[in-house]
Amino acid sequence: MNTIDLNKPVAELIAANPELKDILVQLGFKPLANPAMLNTVGRVTTLKAGAKLANIPLETIKQTLIFNGYDILGGE
């Protein structure tokens, strides 16, 4: 089972779990489809902070990740 830490930078999470990018883009993180954005903003923005920026409820992200077989850390 893969574990996703919501406090880690998005680029780091995607590097460890490449399939995560498609899941996040479908959730509404459209800029992640652009490699330049992933390599700049994605290196410093955590999934938790990105959720706020993209106006996507953290609970929606957590439920989607759990549905896709991930364990979640840092979601409290």
CA–CA dist 4, 74 (Å, integer): 9
Mean pLDDT of 14-29: 96
Q: Domain range for residue 50? A: 2-73
Q: Looking at residue 56, which CATH number applies to its domain?
A: 1.10.3910.10
pLDDT in tens, 38-70: 999 999 999 999 999 999 999 999 999 999 999
DSSP SS3 for 70: strand
Work out the average pLDDT over 2-20. Answer: 95
What is the model's pLDDT at position 75?
A: 73
> Residue 46 phi/psi, 5° resolution?
-80, 165
Say if residue 76's pLDDT is above 80: no
Helices (H) and strands (E) in the chain, counts: 5, 2
pLDDT at residue 1, rounded to an integer: 67
Dist CA 46 CA 6 (whole Å): 6
Domain tally, the chain: 1
